[in-house]
Structure 1
């Protein structure tokens, strides 16, 4: 076991230089495995596949065999860079300029992964082996379909008899400054594909046709006429947003035979995927006609109520940054939606203002502060 303390900024730079665009591993997991094994971790590389989806490489690493087992979850896969010429530097250079660390994954979320590994190295150097276990669950499929990543690793852990007692996800949770926000839950997400079928005909003879566009517009108006709710204690109001309406009709004198729309629902703990689907079908059935509705549930809403774990994170953040973070459930989905079925989970990482953007970047000082926060959390967890 090494007693050397890793530099989180240097490790972030090295991770950024691995071109790990989903589902490519890009050398990022190889790099992490080498560093973790030097620290004494036992590493498992888990490659999962499924028909119609690409193979995905994942890493589970554990130090220690005793309970409790605190896990850090994250991902090394990143979204595509967009036009590299639009960047002020090579997207995979990890360039450090004027105190800012540039590169795809700098904020989402190679910086947090590096900060946690550095925090573990600092913990081992200062406190020695933990009175329990420290583990990392790192996937290469968070930015993709999320089929062959965290969910399957968790299933594998259960099959092996591995137990997680608490999990901290390193997603970029802070909207403005490091210390703003901890996520203790997430809204659910559901996509719907609505197809309305009619009878094609001439616009001059509408009585001989059945215009599906008119019925589609009526259906969408019914779905969006009233708010789904006013929010709940820990969640903002649920929303239904129409994302596209498509007819594909180039003619001005033809009533089309089919019209389609897609929508997304972000919902709080007043609903479930099943209750929303039931409401959708009842609403559309009242309007009637020939239609088809396909539903895909990305994840149910969930909440890990405020308690000792969130308080430990919040106090560690406040001690380091001087800010008392808000406990929030805002934002999109994350892999925490899978982890919450296995243990208590919370999320805290870097500032997310530039994630997925051209010139993604994060202050190097924030990466260093985040490593210190994670170190404080580890000390507090095992005290």
Structure 2
């Protein structure tokens, strides 16, 4: 059998493996549901840990929170060299209305070349790609130096406690580059928008709706805050412009709730109104300065209204990230894309934050790439093209060889 035949046989085996592994992962629901003993990542994590052990990979499991473990796989070549990290999380978002899906959201059925199900795209398909890529290296006894770490954390879709725990435990200390396995249509994403999550509370006085003067309506005050935030968003967009990879910064009110506790009633003025902000930032937008601007809105409204009473809490703060195009891990991934697809790499940015955000904060160069339409995550009828899973597996495999062999694959 010549080299071309060997390579074709290997690619066929890798394709079969990644499709099968994706299906097995998707069929293990791992939606975090507080209070539900089965509503966490533990079953998926246990499956992955056993799968890696069966490949002969050194495996560590660490419980981040009850029922929510991280899985860490270590593949050491036995030769000194760089350390490459692949990252893909086990948790998925809720399927939402189960009946609205055309196919079982946890069935992983393949129809016309697409696999459907929650996590096929974000990001169990890419988790399967990174595992299969490493399996391929081992099965074919490829030569390389250094070490590969498979970082498989919980809770990426929440507050990213898994990756924070991974870093705190020292696993990332000696990593030279990281590939974040998320659905990006196999574009080489070297930047990410930052994220802030803020809760705003406005307080009033409960009263009868027909006797409005006897109460203090927090809804009017909250409306003024939201209007002012819209103006702040516009001014920041005008000041910073549109980032070539990340688009516009944004300030988005999401949850709006009044009363905050208790039952709402149409003829009752609530005593408390709450909103949440999902803020996405780009390089050049300082988070501390943005918070000062929000405080300024509160101060201005309080000057004009003696009954204005509000506070805020920043519950999450993730910086924007950027990795130089010339960084070794970026160059290795771009070279792998060209080798596998025969096309030049397309560079882009990630519209949201990923676990890679905190690896970046820890000083690790990151690049995000993976199978799946960028607009499909978290939607009903989520899917991934199986051809793209096979392609991504090849890209990860070639990127690892190139990075760990200093550009020679």
TM-score calculated relative to the size of structure 1:
0.85
Alpha-carbon distance between aligned partners in 2 of 1:143 and 1:212, rounded to the nearest angstrom: 31
Choose which of 371, 377, 391 in structure 2 pairs with 1:350. Answer: 371
Pair 1:31-2:47 in alignment? yes
Query: 1:32, CA displacement in angstroms?
Result: 2.8
- Note closer, same or farther for the CA distance 1:24–1:235 as it changes in structure 2 (3 Å cut): closer
Alpha-carbon distance between aligned partners in 1 of 2:392 and 2:383, rounded to the nearest angstrom: 15
Query: 1:336, CA displacement in angstroms?
Result: 0.9
Alpha-carbon distance between aligned partners in 1 of 2:280 and 2:139, rounded to the nearest angstrom: 44
- Note closer, same or farther for the CA distance 1:287–1:373 as it changes in structure 2 (3 Å cut): same
Query: Residue deviations 1:4-47, cap 9 Å, x none?
Result: 96521122222223233335335433333333334432110111
Choose which of 154, 164, 183 in structure 2 pairs with 1:140. Answer: 154
Q: Which moved more, 1:350-359 or 1:99-108?
A: 350-359
Query: 1:113, CA displacement in angstroms?
Result: 1.5
Query: 1:129, CA displacement in angstroms?
Result: 4.4
Does the 8 Å CA contact 1:193/1:294 hold for their aligned counterparts? yes
Alpha-carbon distance between aligned partners in 2 of 1:207 and 1:84, rounded to the nearest angstrom: 46
Does the 8 Å CA contact 1:18/1:26 hold for their aligned counterparts? no
Query: 1:87, CA displacement in angstroms?
Result: 3.5
Equivalent residues, number = 367
- Note closer, same or farther for the CA distance 1:283–1:114 as it changes in structure 2 (3 Å cut): same
Pair 1:156-2:169 in alignment? yes
Choose which of 267, 278, 282 in structure 2 pairs with 1:268. Answer: 282
Query: 1:109, CA displacement in angstroms?
Result: 1.4
Query: Residue deviations 1:107-139, cap 9 Å, x none?
Result: 111211211222222223445342111110001
Report matched runs for 1:160-175 at 5 Å: 162-174=173-185
Alpha-carbon distance between aligned partners in 2 of 1:204 and 1:83, rounded to the nearest angstrom: 38
- Note closer, same or farther for the CA distance 1:245–1:111 as it changes in structure 2 (3 Å cut): closer
Q: Secondary structure at the match of 1:329?
A: strand
Q: Secondary structure at the match of 1:157?
A: coil
Q: Secondary structure at the match of 1:340?
A: helix
Query: 1:225, CA displacement in angstroms?
Result: 1.6
Does the 8 Å CA contact 1:236/1:330 hold for their aligned counterparts? no
Report matched runs for 1:362-373 at 5 Å: 362-373=384-395
Gaps of 5+ in 1: none
Alpha-carbon distance between aligned partners in 2 of 1:20 and 1:213, rounded to the nearest angstrom: 37
Task: Decide which structure has greater helix share.
Answer: 2
Does the 8 Å CA contact 2:87/2:180 hold for their aligned counterparts? yes
Pair 1:11-2:21 in alignment? yes
Choose which of 191, 203, 211 in structure 2 pairs with 1:185. Answer: 191
Aligned position for 1:75 = 89
Aligned position for 2:329 = 309
Gaps of 5+ in 2: 1-9, 33-38, 303-307
RMSD (Å) for aligned C-alpha atoms: 2.8
Aligned position for 1:130 = 144
Does the 8 Å CA contact 2:197/2:276 hold for their aligned counterparts? yes
Q: Secondary structure at the match of 1:276?
A: helix
Does the 8 Å CA contact 1:105/1:111 hold for their aligned counterparts? yes
Q: Which moved more, 1:36-45 or 1:198-207?
A: 198-207
Query: 1:73, CA displacement in angstroms?
Result: 0.3
Alpha-carbon distance between aligned partners in 1 of 2:95 and 2:271, rounded to the nearest angstrom: 40
Aligned position for 1:250 = 265
- Note closer, same or farther for the CA distance 1:259–1:27 as it changes in structure 2 (3 Å cut): closer
- Note closer, same or farther for the CA distance 1:363–1:287 as it changes in structure 2 (3 Å cut): same
Does the 8 Å CA contact 1:272/1:301 hold for their aligned counterparts? no
Does the 8 Å CA contact 2:42/2:68 hold for their aligned counterparts? no
